[in-house]
A and B are shown apart, each in its own frame.
Chain A
């Protein structure tokens, strides 16, 4: 139940990112909704779940729009894991934690992907990517996080509730 819901959420984020938000650029950069999803679920549900979801979401992104299959999976898996681990001792109910985690998560994820691409022989224009796209993209994603965080928390609680219910009733 939970896995299905999360997979659907990943697909929805990917769909929105490749359609709706591709029409809403902010100074040439686009938000990373998949990272928003992974970071926030990592914060709320812990590092293992964050890592698992990150890996699956990244892999889906690779399969749907990527070229190096697995590279986003690894990067987002790490981002989800770090988010869960770092948020363990933090107060998660205000907006500051998800806001900064999304910024840093987006930056880390993108840099990891670029590093991986460079490692596998792809030429990467670091200046352009880092300054223009990644920097603003992190901020844009964080703004979206602030807008949806509360609803996201409630949605997560509902999924856990239904998951528990289904598990108990068998």
Chain B
């Protein structure tokens, strides 16, 4: 041992030379790894494999936890986007409805000589949905009590009350309402009133003994009352029954106007109404 110690400088030189030779030798391109390297790598590979798997699994959990935050943010963003788009959808369907009404209104306006004032339904009678509606035009816009109100596809009612900026319209299907009408097919005069027993429908009574009405007949305004323009559609006969008293029959008329979804109407402006 002491001898080894004595020669330590020599040993160190030998070791350094061997080491340099080893490094130099392995720095050159090699066909294959040495058996020591292969053995160590093969020995360690199952451990490395296992640890890598564990690391990946743990990393996956952390990734998922990290993702939760960004997913939450993304979810909140998308939810707000859904609300935005839903609002847009509502707006567009509203515009579509308005567009359809305006098309109808344009046709109607072109077909009549009366001056019409467009108005929007802003309220309904909460006690009786099919009795009156409030529109957003009033005295300041030229609306007067008694003026007729029509929609693109038919009669709506009569202005019952007027304020400066709004009016209340008595709907034609209310039992208090009565309109002079005529049968399109024969021209016979009839009276069209709101049907108290059958809400949402008209009841028709003939004004002439000879009047004949059949289901499917179309009833228009007669224009005799001068409130309504002539030949505004009122509805279609859906049933005819024999009547009591002296009159020959009564008929049920289904209105053309959809009173439950009334949104836009026209007030027929007339100068001769006080």
A residues sitting closer than 8 Å to B (CB atoms) are 11, 14-16, 18-20, 22-23, 60, 63-64, 67-71, 73-74, 116-117, 120-122
Q: Is the CB of A69 within 8 A of B56?
A: no
The chain B residue sitting closest to A55, CB to CB, is: B19
Distance of A79 Cα from B22 Cα, bound (Å): 20
B59 touches A23 (CB 8 A): yes
What's the dominant secondary structure at chain B's contact region?
A: helix
Q: Contact partner of A64 among B25, B44, B54, B59, CB < 8 A?
A: B44
Residue-wise interface mask of B (22-53) relative to A, using a CB-CB cutoff of 8 A (1 in contact, 0 not): 11111100000010110011001001100110
Flag if B48 contacts A63 (CB, 8 Å).
Answer: no
Give the complex CA separation of A60 and B22 in angstroms: 14
B interface residues, how many (CB within 8 angstroms): 21
Contacts A/B (CB < 8 Å), 16 sampled? A15-B44, A15-B51, A16-B51, A19-B51, A23-B52, A23-B59, A60-B40, A63-B37, A63-B40, A64-B44, A67-B26, A69-B23, A70-B19, A70-B22, A120-B24, A122-B27
Whether B44 and A11, one on each chain, are in contact in the complex, defined by CB atoms closer than 8 angstroms, is: yes
Give chain B nearest CB distance to A113 CB in angstroms.
11
Q: Report the minimum CB–CB distance from A4 to chain B (whole Å).
A: 16
Query: If the complex has contacts A64-B41, A73-B19, are A18 and B48 also in contact, measured as CB distance less than 8 A?
Result: yes
Contact A116 B23 (CB under 8 A): yes
Residue B125 interfacial (CB < 8 Å):
no
Assuming the contacts A15-B51, A20-B55, A73-B19, asked whether A68 and B44 have C-beta atoms less than 8 A apart, the reply is: no
The smallest C-beta distance from A68 to any residue of chain B, in angstroms, reads: 5
* Distance in Å: Cβ of A112 to nearest Cβ of chain B: 12
